[in-house]
Structure 1
């Protein structure tokens, strides 16, 4: 099958493209401003990329067009369509579908799907769960909204369950009579697939959340706050979408729920028809110990222990959810906990970009994906606790952040920024492209907050303020204008 993907450089659509190519399909795609790192990864897989959404791409005549949710029917000021290829597809009556729908029909059918949903921690928890299953011999398929360091790729088809003593093997093609989904010709019986389940809408023609398409047998509901202000009016609107996900889990399935979240309790109050496994305070799955070394308790009984390099209560909660979900496919909690000892996290999750030596202690620059106020606060609290526990109490945290998500650009959560940055000794905001006043929003922080409208003055502000032993955390869900390397270069030049 030849599929042509519109919006192929997005994390989800790029992962889908990799899965389709691995399954043997011919894959082409287009995007505006075809950009790395996804463009480099896709070209390395032999996927042809086209710049823009020109109607001339109809000449490719694929079997199906797969439409990303970046595509819309918006018209520009001069009346021309922003996505002329989409208009041509509609005019021609050509076959098209959404990314989540294609994934459900061509990859997920017949597999035991484990879906990880939540406002925060989806990528990390999905990666944890995939790693646990890998170490337990499941050779899981997965699609993650990031790059797990233990796998080096964001998506793969995976295989069927194997013995933990056997060498890893690829799932072999089989005859159509033995396949749950003959369209892709892979034997899915017993195969597991772990997917990051996003509540964002599916496509311009399908306004349901993406995760409704995945039909999981195991679902983790990690947490739930208001987000995506561009498509949801309020928190109850998102809670309804989460309940739509719960409705799709079979009676033989398991819903793993953060017991500390009132919003998730409201979701469950609307109805749940599956086994419930609650984690955190008040749940049957709990942790006892420090954030980097803790026992796993199930109904008060110690069933495993996690000792790892990660920090923060949020990662401890992520681990509880992943362990409870893995048990549903037969992985003992002790085995799952032991697997997490070697878990290396995900790129752009407090990833050290580099250090600059200084008399009195090195300056360390980190890259982190945090972009929601709660995620920013959690990231900084985790670092503060790690520094204090490691004998580095008093070392400063400098937070550089870019309000880049659709919700943050709207200014909906601007008032929460001083709260989210409480653990930072100094905060530096990149205000370029914002339609709200970042200076006014950060006024409660006084002299601890600085604002710059572009990257160069932001870097200059940080370099002027940096001292030996500082930890500079750069937070954005985008490239942040390459601020990480620019900072390191400027700091080294200032030695």
Structure 2
């Protein structure tokens, strides 16, 4: 079958393309913006990419068109699909019908940490020899691909997004997945382009809860009041809670660690002996992600001690505090942070690492929520742990970043051009500094261009 995917370079749709290819289909796709790591992943699998949307991309006519949720009426290729009466569906629906049926599904939901937690969970299952399938909104470095079918009948890990499904299906994506195990990691207001308030998102999470069978499992962050409100709307599945301070009963699972040291921690449960774990990730948010992944893996028979050994070998997904290069002692780090809470998590986690250098934060307000300005009053507080902040003002942003910059506690500046931003960073950075670049897009190749500029300044090799 020839499947053509509209919006193929999005993290979800690109991963879907890999699964369709693995099932033996011929896969093509189109998108308005093609950039790594997804584009390189797809090209390596022999998937033909078409830059831009046009009716000609549908010639010869595919057997099925899968339309991503970034596409809407008025798009030339969407209109051609409708005019020609070509069969079409959404990505989540295709996934449920062709991949998720008749196998255990473990869905990871939450405003933050879905990619990291789903990557952890898939790795814990893999390390235990279960050969899981997965679809993750990033590239887990332990696997090198964002999606695979896995063994026949093996558990399937899915990053469960609350964003809507398609222009013709406004339900959240995750209601299609019908998981046996659902992780509810955290919940706060996001996606201001489609949700009016937090209560609207809570309703969608409750729709997910309604799909989990009574013999399944709900794994819920005990420190999240919004998730308790979700469960209060009705719950028919056993709930296991994680989080909270050891000794102050909140979650069934908790962690303890030395102050400021989150790369060594101990996992506690009333029915288990404490398990000491060492790993490479930092930050309290990643401890919550780890607890969620460990508890979910246990539902598939993975022991806590085995999960702890697997975490010692876990590498965070690409674009999640990913070190892109070091020049003259200056680290350039890539992070997907696209929400004030995520920005604060990233900076606080990096601040906790040993080292005397400064933390330089570079931020592009690019997500739909950011573009609408719904979170701009929270941005100054989110960067409080940085030593300097460099804001990028995209040309299509409807509000001024200067107001945010002026309210920041650390020294802060705004740039409306990438070249000027690079020049400032190259001028300011000193050996020992960490430059963390936060955006949910390609940022016009800033990471590579900055590393090249630093090398030119230092005449030093890239390590």
TM-score normalized with structure 2 length = 0.94
Counterpart-to-counterpart distance in 2, 1:468 and 1:441: 28
Paired position in structure 2 for 1:19: 19
Counterpart-to-counterpart distance in 1, 2:14 and 2:301: 31
Counterpart-to-counterpart distance in 1, 2:344 and 2:34: 32
* Residue 459 of structure 1, CA deviation: 1.3
Q: 2:187 aligned to 224, 229, 252, which one?
A: 224
Counterpart-to-counterpart distance in 2, 1:286 and 1:396: 32
Paired position in structure 2 for 1:213: 176
* 1:50 to 2:50 alignment: yes
Q: Deviations over 1:428-461 (max 9, x none)?
A: 0001222111111221226711110011111122
* Residue 5 of structure 1, CA deviation: 0.9
* 1:399 to 2:370 alignment: no
The 3-state SS of whatever aligns with 1:247 is: helix
Question: 1:7–1:71: 8 Å Cα contact kept in structure 2?
Answer: yes
Counterpart-to-counterpart distance in 2, 1:59 and 1:485: 36
Counterpart-to-counterpart distance in 1, 2:398 and 2:323: 31
* 1:328 to 2:291 alignment: no
Counterpart-to-counterpart distance in 1, 2:445 and 2:161: 26
Q: Deviations over 1:139-175 (max 9, x none)?
A: 0000111111110000000004xxxxxxxxxxxxxxx
Q: Deviations over 1:7-48 (max 9, x none)?
A: 111111111010011011121222224444323322221222
Paired position in structure 2 for 1:136: 128
Paired position in structure 1 for 2:204: 241
* Segments of 4+ moved more than 6 angstroms: none
Q: Deviations over 1:295-343 (max 9, x none)?
A: 2111274353321111111111100000111111111111112111110
* 1:356 to 2:327 alignment: yes
Paired position in structure 2 for 1:168: none
Q: 1:2 to 1:377 in 2, by over 3 A?
A: same
* Residue 88 of structure 1, CA deviation: 2.4
Paired position in structure 1 for 2:146: 154
Paired position in structure 2 for 1:9: 9
Paired position in structure 1 for 2:247: none
Matched residue count: 449
Q: Highest Rg: 1 or 2? A: 1
Counterpart-to-counterpart distance in 2, 1:482 and 1:56: 29
5+ residue gaps, structure 2, are: 245-249, 459-463
Paired position in structure 2 for 1:269: 232
Counterpart-to-counterpart distance in 2, 1:283 and 1:213: 28
* 1:28 to 2:28 alignment: yes
The 3-state SS of whatever aligns with 2:294 is: helix
Counterpart-to-counterpart distance in 1, 2:343 and 2:10: 23
* 1:493 to 2:456 alignment: yes
Question: 1:286–1:296: 8 Å Cα contact kept in structure 2?
Answer: yes
Question: 1:368–1:473: 8 Å Cα contact kept in structure 2?
Answer: yes
Question: 2:334–2:436: 8 Å Cα contact kept in structure 1?
Answer: yes
Paired position in structure 2 for 1:106: 98
Counterpart-to-counterpart distance in 2, 1:325 and 1:193: 12
5+ residue gaps, structure 1, are: 75-82, 161-187
Question: 2:381–2:408: 8 Å Cα contact kept in structure 1?
Answer: no
Paired position in structure 1 for 2:337: 370
Paired position in structure 1 for 2:461: none
Counterpart-to-counterpart distance in 1, 2:142 and 2:189: 31
Paired position in structure 2 for 1:171: none
Question: 1:219–1:256: 8 Å Cα contact kept in structure 2?
Answer: yes
TM-score normalized with structure 1 length = 0.88
* Residue 92 of structure 1, CA deviation: 2.9
Counterpart-to-counterpart distance in 1, 2:15 and 2:288: 26
